[in-house]
Structure 1
């Protein structure tokens, strides 16, 4: 089963390596890993998506919670309402005769054309995993030259007090 976990951590040297190493050292293959500073530069948010059995993942999360520099952990799951998004940037082959068709697909998915050359277009698309997958399925026949993805970032919906269990 696929899981999304977010860890609020101190923005210090080596924290990312310890968090990723904790999962990989326990045999988890990380599907996506995204990290960046929060609104407070003292902290970063690490978002990890991986496939794991519930019991094994629960044990790993408990061990993650014991790591120094880990402030808070959120396991986004069926019990929690959350919003997740991913960014994909891709360069697509688009000569004069196919360019309008590529732009048409972009319009359907509200993707943005961010650069144009005579032979290629660079596109940015954001959305949930299903939207990104569907977009890539339709754009692939035009010829993807390069692709970069961020992986998921996620936040719980509502105020923090609404999400705490009693």
Structure 2
């Protein structure tokens, strides 16, 4: 099972490295990792997606809580939450396929952020399933390049 863990940490150099090394030392694979500052510039939120059992998650949570610069660790896997991924997809686009690609992008409420003579760059945001779906629909046109963020997530309701 994949678990989504939200970690509030001090916005200092080296904190992310210590957290990543904690996972690697214990043999846990990180499926996704995203970091950004919060409304407080001294605090960053790290969203980590890790595959494993509940016991794996419990062990990771305990280890994270032992780190000095970690303020709060929350498993938001089963909580009501909002999550998003972002992808930029460069698709081969000739004059005969450009309009069809634009229709696919429009259906997924994506944006065309760059147009060249032989390609289009598409930006799409949404949950993992939505990003996967548009990627599969664009694949037959010829994906030239693809970059995806990791999941970012936030629990619904009050802090």
Identify the TM-score tier after normalising by the shorter chain: over 0.9
CA RMSD of aligned residues (A): 0.8
Matches within 5 A, 1:1-166: 1-78=1-78, 80-160=79-159
| Secondary structure, aligned partner of 2:97 | helix
Q: How many residues align?
A: 159
In the aligned structure 2, how far is the partner of 1:92 from the partner of 1:106? 11
Quote the residue 1:163 is aligned against.
none
List runs of 5+ in structure 2 lacking aligned partners: none
How far 1:59 moved relative to its partner? 1.3
In the aligned structure 2, how far is the partner of 1:77 from the partner of 1:46? 14
How far 1:39 moved relative to its partner? 1.9
In the aligned structure 2, how far is the partner of 1:11 from the partner of 1:149? 24
In the aligned structure 2, how far is the partner of 1:77 from the partner of 1:96? 44
In the aligned structure 2, how far is the partner of 1:118 from the partner of 1:56? 49
In the aligned structure 1, how far is the partner of 2:77 from the partner of 2:33? 17
In the aligned structure 2, how far is the partner of 1:143 from the partner of 1:36? 32
In the aligned structure 1, how far is the partner of 2:158 from the partner of 2:45? 18
TM, length-normalised to structure 2:
0.97
List runs of 5+ in structure 1 lacking aligned partners: 161-166
How far 1:82 moved relative to its partner? 0.6
For each residue in 1:123-164, what CA deviation from the matched residue of structure 2 results, as whole angstroms up to 9, or x when unmatched? Answer: 10000011111111101111111111111000000113xxxx
